[in-house]
Structure 1
Amino acid sequence: MRSLTNNFIMSSKHRRSVRRRKSWEYGDDSITIRVSNRHSPRRYDAISVTSARDAPRFARLIQDQVHATPRDPLIVAVNGYQPWLEDILVSCVQDDWSDIADLDREVQFAGTMQFPEKASKRGRDVPWTFIMDHMNVPQVYFWSVDMNPPKFEDFGLPEIEYYRFRVGVWQSGRGACRFDRDVPVVMIFTKNTPVCEHVVSELLFPYLHKDQDFNLPREDEEGICWTFSRLYYLLTDWQNIIGEVVTRLGEAETNSHSRHLPVKWRTRLLHTEVDRLFELKEYLHFQSRAFKKLQKLKANVPKNEQQDPLWDDMDDAVEDLDQWDTTLDSLKERFNNLIELEFNIQNAVQSDNSQFLSVIATLFLPVSFMASVFGITTITWPPIWYLYAALPVLVVSAIFTFAFPWSVRQFQKLLYPIEELRIHLQPRNFTMLGDELPDSVDVQGGNRQGKGKRKAQRPAAMDGARARSGSKYRSEKDDE
């Protein structure tokens, strides 16, 4: 009976663990799917699906959208993953070249990113896929959607997970939509979090629709570049991150100069900041390489279409990322300098303390020696003699303690004199504004002279020839 009870308890625990694991892995059963619609006040139509039986509802929504705006690309946003999600999507989108559900699952659970690339090399009209972690200050994501950010621990620094906004994209220029083969299809996968929900529902679709190039016909290469760049400009802002790092650097400098916090705490905070900079640079480098890979697609676009402003936006993004990379390097160097300064100050403080103890020992060592001498029991000197002997010894000891270091410094100055060299700037060593050299400058031993002196040293014959040529020119002009 006891064994049966134990087996029942174990099986119950196993079922609960399975349920917990399944709940952790897939989240809630419902998935919200939003479809772009310019005629809707919110710029999208949304449905909530709970199983594969909702595929007809999703198909009707896509069909109505394609017929209402036949020129617009079909943009679909999905906020979660379930094993039956593929049955919902394939009812309207043909995925012969890649498994859409696999991409969504990687967005939800994988920790790696993927460069933009074609899902297959077998044909021209095949979808593009990528997974990108967009980066911004964590508080900005919450403030942008009128939400209060949580209280981040970790010594005031949020985890790198909070900086990221993960997005997966499945895009096919043509041939994917079952209702109209000429309609481009873009699927954007996000996580089922409050911030992602607010960003997608409040910011994503209005931002894409207000773009003047939203419904322009594009090749597959231009389409993936447009989608990648627009999501980047919407969700990533390294300027905010740089500003936050600069603010934290100023706070660290204040703590270091004012000694507000213990040295161990300060150095630990500085090391945390440096580690965070290394992590941020990894994501910045990935974004930079992704943009540079997409820039190469310009060679596949016809010459008459390479004037699209989209390519200028790509170039600007690459230049900005290179600049932010350099800025992060300089900030990291400044944090390391603060760490080194903390150690130098700590060593200097310990050295000063040791020096102070040495001075005290030097000052009272003779007096202590005399006290030990007078403390010998076999000596019966009067106690007043100790006072007569200790006072002069203490005075001599004080003079020696304070005069000896000064004497050593003076002796070192005489033995190893230090010559003070001050550099005096001379005008002749520099090029002045508006002229090679000023009129009053004459460089000794060189050919560089002022303009006035060069004019004064011009040969008289040359001046005469110049004067004759000028008079000849005037006479010819008078004859005309």
Structure 2
Amino acid sequence: MPGRRRHLRRRKSWNTATSPISIRVGSRSSSRQFYEVSASGARDASRFARLVADQVRSFPCDPLVIAINGYQPWLEDILNSCIEDYWSAISELDRQVQFAGTMQFPERASKRGQDVPWTFVLDHMNVPQVYYWSVDMDPPGWDGSGLPDIEHYRFRVGAWECGRAACRFDREVPVAILFTKPTPVAEYVVTELLFGYLHRDGDYDQPREDEEGICWLFSRLYWLLTDWQNIISEIVTRLNEAEANSHDRHLPVKTRTRLMHNEVDRLYELKEYLHFHNRAFRKLQKLKADVPQREQRDPLWTDMDDAVEDLEQYNTTLDGLKERFNNLIELEFNIQNAVRADNSWYLSIVATIFLPISYLASLFGITTLTWPAIWYLWAAIPIVAVSLTLALCFPWGIRRLQKRLYPIETLRLTLRPQSFTMLGNELPDNVDVPGSRRPSKVGQEYISELLGRLLTYGTGDMIDKLRCGVH
């Protein structure tokens, strides 16, 4: 009965097949560094099994690397023909790569024993244009904010890594299965870059334990697909563009500040992925304790330490860029406030000119007064002249008075050689080192100045004593 249920389940999986899946198996005997099987259902399991068996037989020392682009429910039947007892967990990992929105730290898939697989789901990050330029495609249009969606920065990869005991044909062959989405960029990476990059690695065919295997696979995929330096260069370019727009006032201030707010939001999003990469590397670094002491000299661990240091530096750089964007936003508001202050000054001048005339008009509008209308003209002309003179001369007079009362002076500090460390010295000359016979130039200058004053005002005996003290 269990066999019949399994047979029915397989027949049902055949009916759900909608599109073929390309499965590539790495091989050094192929000019493209891999062999490919296009599977459209569980009936193709035998073809895939023969391909894997031939590869293991031809290169028994090489790790078995398999790349799968896409997901179908019958994929577990394909993998079950070659992989021992783990096919359901592998299929679930592939499904998460295709449809889930979260990432997963490297971790063991189960606790059943030592020979259990390690898995992770990671979003690699790079400039979207780099991904599309690599496949000779134009990048898609961005949204109204002027930025690509964060989805375009991501290149999702899921990995299933088992050091040994997984391959049905040879239990000593390490097995690694990679999952990507069926996109043009992913197809290009897998068919043109991935296998050649792994095969050229000098540590590709080195015997490794499970812990070392997952660290090696994680780090190599990271260096192949992630480039934070590219992203930082892109952000610096957009920062320079924002500074130019702010300086030349090319766009309305609301548009400029909104664009810069979008940049800051994007920086926060990118930092989340960077922090995940950093935490993932740090988690893998802890596996070094499980490696025998004689094998901890593997350059892999040094490479991972370097990656953590680089990620910390990138995080600091992103913080600096975020601060510069915030400073530019604050500058925009300060400039806007200064413009409003200037506009209010013009309004004050207008009020100074027309307010006395308005007051005069209100006086002549009193019905109990019977002044001739010509008097209004005679009074208005000198009042306008006086108001105009005050409006023009009063600010100038205030500035002149302020300059006289509070003169603007520039304080320039004189640099002194003894305050700096000269070439070949370890400390500045003005530093007194306890126990050192090096004379202090500060003390010498002070005594010399005192001697000069005594020569002018003091006595000869005091001068002789001071000279003896100096010598």
TM-score range for the pair, normalised by the shorter chain length: 0.7 to 0.9
Please say if 1:443 is aligned against 2:455: no
Contact 1:92 1:179 in 2 (8 A): yes
- Aligned match of 1:352: 342
5 Å matches for 1:34-433?
Answer: 34-96=24-86, 99-374=89-364, 379=370, 381-383=372-374, 385-408=375-398, 421-433=411-423
Structure 1 residues 291-300 or 235-244, which shifts more?
291-300
Give per-residue Cα distances to partners, 1:19-38, cap 9 Å, x unaligned: xxxxxxx9952211111011
CA distance in 1, matches of 2:383, 2:441: 69
Structure 1 residues 410-419 or 256-265, which shifts more?
410-419
CA distance in 2, matches of 1:108, 1:192: 9
Give per-residue Cα distances to partners, 1:200-221, cap 9 Å, x unaligned: 1111111111112111111111
Contact 2:79 2:87 in 1 (8 A): no
Helix, strand or coil at the partner of 2:442: coil
Q: Structure 1 440/295 Cα, relative in aligned 2: closer, same or farther at 3 Å?
A: closer
CA distance in 2, matches of 1:205, 1:27: 28
Please state how far the C-alpha of 1:356 moved relative to its aligned partner.
1.0
Identity of aligned residues (%): 66
- Aligned match of 1:3: none
Structure 1 residues 88-97 or 199-208, which shifts more?
88-97
Please state how far the C-alpha of 1:442 moved relative to its aligned partner.
3.7
Give per-residue Cα distances to partners, 1:408-453, cap 9 Å, x unaligned: 456667777888654333334344333553999842599999xxxx
Q: TM-score, normalised by structure 1?
A: 0.82
Contact 1:221 1:300 in 2 (8 A): yes
Contact 1:97 1:127 in 2 (8 A): no
- The unaligned stretches of length 5 or more in structure 2 are 1-15, 431-437, 449-466
Please state how far the C-alpha of 1:372 moved relative to its aligned partner.
4.4
CA distance in 2, matches of 1:166, 1:447: 70
Helix, strand or coil at the partner of 2:36: strand
**Count of aligned pairs:** 426
- Aligned match of 1:33: 23
Helix, strand or coil at the partner of 1:294: helix
Give per-residue Cα distances to partners, 1:43-93, cap 9 Å, x unaligned: 111111111111111111111111121111111011111111111101100
Q: Structure 1 417/255 Cα, relative in aligned 2: closer, same or farther at 3 Å?
A: closer
Q: Structure 1 422/380 Cα, relative in aligned 2: closer, same or farther at 3 Å?
A: same
Q: Structure 1 282/382 Cα, relative in aligned 2: closer, same or farther at 3 Å?
A: closer
- The unaligned stretches of length 5 or more in structure 1 are 1-25, 450-458, 464-480
Helix, strand or coil at the partner of 1:251: helix
Q: TM-score, normalised by structure 2?
A: 0.84
Please state how far the C-alpha of 1:156 moved relative to its aligned partner.
2.1
Contact 2:76 2:87 in 1 (8 A): no
Helix, strand or coil at the partner of 2:171: coil
CA distance in 2, matches of 1:180, 1:156: 53
Contact 2:76 2:88 in 1 (8 A): no
Structure 1 residues 283-292 or 206-215, which shifts more?
206-215
Structure 1 residues 439-448 or 45-54, which shifts more?
439-448
Helix, strand or coil at the partner of 1:246: helix
Helix, strand or coil at the partner of 1:99: helix
Please state how far the C-alpha of 1:278 moved relative to its aligned partner.
0.2
Q: Structure 1 28/342 Cα, relative in aligned 2: closer, same or farther at 3 Å?
A: farther
Contact 1:94 1:178 in 2 (8 A): yes
Q: Structure 1 398/209 Cα, relative in aligned 2: closer, same or farther at 3 Å?
A: same
CA distance in 2, matches of 1:301, 1:440: 56
Please state how far the C-alpha of 1:391 moved relative to its aligned partner.
2.5
CA distance in 1, matches of 2:17, 2:343: 60
